[in-house]
Chains A and B, each alone.
Chain A
Amino acid sequence: MDLSLSTRNVSGPGGDRTVVEVGGEIDVYTAPKLREQLVELVNDGSYHLVVDMEGVDFLDSTGLGVLVGGLKRVRAHEGSLRLVCNQERILKIFRITGLTKVFPIHTTVDEAVAATD
Chain B
Amino acid sequence: MPGDTPGAPEAYARTFEGDGMATVELRFSAQPEHVRTARLVAAAVARRAGVDEAVLDEVRLAVGEACSRAVGLHRSHGITAPVSVALTEEEKAFSIEVGDSVPDPGADSVDSGAPDASEADGEGEDEMGLAVISGLVDDVEVRSGAGGGVIRMSWPTADAAVPS
Contacts and interface: CB of A to CB of B under 8 A. Distances in A.
Interface stretch (A9-17, A25-33, A106-114): A25-33
A97 B128 contact: yes
Contacts, number: 58
Contacts of A58: 39, 60-61, 64
Contacts of A60: 61, 64-65, 68, 129, 132
A61 interface: yes
A8 interface: no
Interface stretch (A45-53, A62-70, A75-83): A62-70
B51 interface: no
B125 A62 contact: yes
Interface string B38-58: 010000000000000000010
Given A60-B61, A96-B135, A28 B128 contact: no
Chain A interface size range: 10 to 19
B132 A28 contact: no
Interface residues of B, number: 23
A96 B121 contact: no
Contacts of B64: 27-28, 58, 60
Contacts of A101: none
Nearest to B34: A29
Nearest to B134: A96
Interface of B: 32-33, 35-36, 39, 57, 60-61, 64-65, 67-68, 71-72, 121, 124-125, 128-129, 131-132, 135-136
Which 6 A-B residue pairs are closest in the complex by CB-CB distance? A96-B135, A29-B32, A28-B68, A61-B128, A65-B125, A28-B32
Interface of A: 1, 25, 27-29, 58, 60-62, 64-65, 68-69, 89, 93, 96-97
